[in-house]
Structure 1
């Protein structure tokens, strides 16, 4: 990447360490609070630990980073030679992370463009990679933002959860909240739309819901060249099986990432989460 444009994101992008290192992307962590213990995502708390806590019905909440955390990362980027920074974050409807980054940007030693991507998980990750690749090609901060916004505009994210209860508790189901009572007896399929989680369909059984999730991903991908991500929480076997089927059914598949979501998204979606991100290239 050009040393002049630094790329910053948050821990909900769920990019692997290899990608972070290769593209020199800095990450500001969110926090998961279990009981009275606050733990940084990515370093101090794992998704399986969150899944266990949720199953035990321990109190689990999440917390955004403060402006001071962003201030430290922005100063470090400037000290390393950046003359501008692009800071890309999960949907502002999910978290105050974008707001904290915006506050810190005002006092940063170099110009910072803060972007509410409207995304989360690898939908955010793919968007961040688009910005990083644009910067690596010699693009300006504005060009990196434009590349990220183009990638985000084509992105689709769909997911299945065993229950809406965890999303309801965290206040993250948006428009789907009004349908919570009727959807509870069904198996919900949800989508990420305009930075919010919305109920897409209700299916009678888990197996039928996962089959429908696969169909939606295949339809959305079509014959285009695409990158896919399959996410899960405490459902590795189901995720691997879904990924295998998508490899067979998506003719333009360029890249497929299979990973467990991190602790923050896991805390809100709950064990059993299975998601697919479709990102045309």
Structure 2
């Protein structure tokens, strides 16, 4: 058998890619209008990012059930669980406590990221597992990818950021900003302000430059994310493909309802990943 990889639904791995590598995805939760909806399993309103909703991670029982099944399916080879940054969610901390109860054959890696910043970590682990690597080697592959990932996002509106409370050091300027289009970056596991820019087009151009600086001439993996902005995502992906010919073709996917609640409609993001 092989090591089985588990992640959470914030990873935004295209379903066909997750299925091809046997990656198990634990849903995060969206709480809206008195309902508890599971990301990726239950029907979530398309305008969820405009509603007064909140999010939560999977319960210990949910994680334990998935880990136990994955461990059984691995034939004892083990489980590598990669989750979104512990500084953005309690999911990773819950996962680590559950893993401690299950023993050494379940290893948890804090991706220090989210969206495909996490997704590329899970994919690196799954590819190592498919090549026959044991659990420590799979965990090392995941950690190398986590250490080599960068994430950026341009937000079109500030209301969701104000409500989210997930943006480190932003409270002072969020209250007074008018037409600013903030460029955010994932840094040390936190989502932080990288630059304040006056127009959306300029913010996206600066983000592309930042991504190109991060990628250099390496054959990096790229992902383009969006919230209700598919045309903008396609244009951004085409731009990156032209600017970074050595990179893999970008994965394009929605940020999904959980992340969309925190950044709002129109947001565009890019993840660049390369193992170190």
TM-score normalized by structure 1?
Answer: 0.92
Aligned with 1:107 (options 101, 112, 115): 101
In structure 1, stretches of 5+ residues that fail to align are none
CA contact (8 A) 1:162 1:272 kept: yes
For these two proteins, the number of residue pairs brought into alignment is: 274
Partner deviation per Cα, 1:157-201 (whole Å, 9 max, x = no partner): 011001232122121011233332344541100000000011001
Tell me, yes or no, if structure 1 residue 54 matches structure 2 residue 49.
yes
CA contact (8 A) 1:175 1:197 kept: no
Partner of 1:89: 83
Tell me, yes or no, if structure 1 residue 157 matches structure 2 residue 155.
no
Aligned with 2:258 (options 261, 264, 268): 264
SS of 1:113's equivalent in the other structure is strand
SS of 2:262's equivalent in the other structure is helix
Partner of 1:69: 62
CA contact (8 A) 2:6 2:82 kept: yes
In structure 2, stretches of 5+ residues that fail to align are none
| Root-mean-square deviation (Å) | 1.6
CA contact (8 A) 1:78 1:109 kept: no
CA distance in 2, matches of 1:4, 1:205: 49
Moved over 4 A (4+): none
CA contact (8 A) 2:86 2:93 kept: yes
Partner of 2:12: 14
